Amino acid sequence: MSRIQETFNQLKKRKEGALITFTTLGDPSLRRSVQLARRLAESGADILELGLPFSDPVADGPTIQASYQRALKAGMNTHRALEAVRKLRDKVKTPLVLLSYYNPVLRRGVAGFFRDFAEAGLDGVVVPDLPVEEAEPVSKAGKDAGVNLIFLVAPTTTERRLEKIVKAAEGFLYLVSLLGVTGARESLSALTKKTISRIAKHVEARIPVAVGFGISKPPHVREVIAAGADGAIVGSALIDLYTSSASNPAQALEKVSAYVHTLKAATAKKA
Amino acid sequence: MKKTSLSYYGRYPDEKGKFGRYGGIFAPEILMPALEELHEAFLRHHRDPGFQGELGRYLRDYAGRPTPLYYAQRLSWRLGCKVYLKREDLTHGGAHKLNNTLGQALLALRMGKKRLIAETGAGQHGLATAMAGAVLGLKTEVYMGEEDVERQRHNVYRMELLGAEVHPVKSGSRTLKDAINEAFRDWIAHVGDTHYVVGSVVGPHPYPLLVREFQRVIGKEIRQQVLEKEGRLPSLLVACIGGGSNALGAFYDFLEDPSVQLHGVEAGGQGLRTGRHSASLAAGSLGVLHGAYTRILQDEYGQIETSHSISAGLDYPGVGPELAFLQETGRLKVYTATDAEAVEAFHMLAKLEGILPALEPCHALAHLAKISRRLPPDSIVVLNLSGRGDKDLGVVQKFMEDRK
Contacts of B192 in chain A (CB under 8 A): 179
Q: Check pLDDT > 50 for residue B351.
A: yes
Q: Check pLDDT > 90 for residue A189.
A: no
* Set B76, B113, B119, B280: catalytic member: B119
B26, B176, B196, B295: best to mutate for the A interface, most A CBs within 10 A: B26
Do A169 and A199 form a contact (C-beta atoms < 8 A)? Answer: no
Q: How confident is the model at residue B6 (pLDDT cuts 50, 70, 90)?
A: low
Overall average pLDDT of the B367-372 stretch:
98
Please judge whether B29 and A158 are an interchain contact, meaning their C-beta atoms are less than 8 angstroms apart: no
Q: Check pLDDT > 60 for residue B136.
A: yes
Residue A271 inside a domain? The answer is no
| Nearest residue of chain B to residue A176 (CA atoms) | B30
Q: Check pLDDT > 90 for residue B377.
A: no
Task: Report pLDDT for B3.
Answer: 43
Q: Check pLDDT > 90 for residue B27.
A: yes
- For residues B271 and B278, what is the distance between their CA atoms, to the nearest angstrom? 10
Q: Check pLDDT > 50 for residue B282.
A: yes
Overall average pLDDT of the A177-202 stretch:
91
Q: Check pLDDT > 60 for residue A9.
A: yes
Please judge whether A103 and B302 are an interchain contact, meaning their C-beta atoms are less than 8 angstroms apart: yes
> Structural domain of residue A41, as residue ranges?
3-265
| Nearest residue of chain B to residue A105 (CA atoms) | B302
CATH number of the CATH domain containing A211: 3.20.20.70
| Nearest residue of chain B to residue A107 (CA atoms) | B302
Least confident of A24-38, A184-198, B49-63, B378-392: A184-198
Q: Check pLDDT > 90 for residue B74.
A: yes
Residue A196 inside a domain? The answer is yes
Overall average pLDDT of the A145-161 stretch:
96
- Closest by Cα among A36, A18, A150 to A91: A36
Greatest distance between any 2 Cα atoms in chain A: 49
Contacts of A165 in chain B (CB under 8 A): 29
Residue A180 sits at the chain B interface (C-beta within 8 Å):
yes
Task: Report pLDDT for A230.
Answer: 98
Contacts of A77 in chain B (CB under 8 A): 301, 303
Residue A69 sits at the chain B interface (C-beta within 8 Å):
yes
Residue A56 inside a domain? The answer is yes
Of B27, B33, B189, which is closest to A129 when you measure between CB atoms? B27
Mean confidence (pLDDT) of chain A: 96
Residue A235 inside a domain? The answer is yes
Strands B82-87 and B69-71: antiparallel
Residue A231 inside a domain? The answer is yes
Q: Check pLDDT > 90 for residue B153.
A: no
Please judge whether A77 and B177 are an interchain contact, meaning their C-beta atoms are less than 8 angstroms apart: no
This model's pTM is above 0.95: yes
Contacts of A104 in chain B (CB under 8 A): 301-303
Q: Check pLDDT > 50 for residue B2.
A: no
Residue A63 inside a domain? The answer is yes
Q: Check pLDDT > 60 for residue B4.
A: no
Overall average pLDDT of the B227-253 stretch:
98
SS (H, E, C) chain B: CCCCCCCCCCCCCCCCCEECCEECCCCCHHHHHHHHHHHHHHHHHHCCHHHHHHHHHHHHHHCCCCCCEEECHHHHHHHCCEEEEEEHHHCCCCECHHHHHHHHHHHHHHCCCCEEEEEECCCHHHHHHHHHHHHHCCEEEEEEEHHHHHHCHHHHHHHHHCCCEEEEECCCCCCHHHHHHHHHHHHHHCCCCEEECCCCCCCCCCHHHHHHHHHCHHHHHHHHHHHHHHCCCCCEEEEECCCCHHHHHHHHHHCCCCCCEEEEEEEEECCHHHCCCCCHHHHCEEEEECCEEEEECECCCCCECCCCCCCHHHCCCCCCHHHHHHHHHCCEEEEEEEHHHHHHHHHHHHHHHCCCECHHHHHHHHHHHHHHHHCCCCCEEEEEECEECHHHHHHHHHHHHHHC
Task: Report pLDDT for B256.
Answer: 97
Task: Report pLDDT for B175.
Answer: 86
- For residues A201 and A195, what is the distance between their CA atoms, to the nearest angstrom? 10
Residue A87 inside a domain? The answer is yes
Of A69, A153, A181, which is closest to B29 when you measure between CB atoms? A153
Q: How far is B136 from chain A, CA to nearest CA, in Å?
A: 27
Residue A35 sits at the chain B interface (C-beta within 8 Å):
no
Q: What is the pLDDT of residues A201-243, one digit of tens each?
A: 999 999 999 999 999 999 999 999 999 999 999 999 999 999 9
Q: Check pLDDT > 70 for residue B359.
A: yes
Q: Check pLDDT > 80 for residue B276.
A: yes
Q: How confident is the model at residue A271 (pLDDT cuts 50, 70, 90)?
A: low
Overall number of domains in chain A = 1
A69, A117, A156, A209: best to mutate for the B interface, most B CBs within 10 A: A156
Question: Is ipTM beyond 0.85?
Answer: yes
Residue A173 inside a domain? The answer is yes
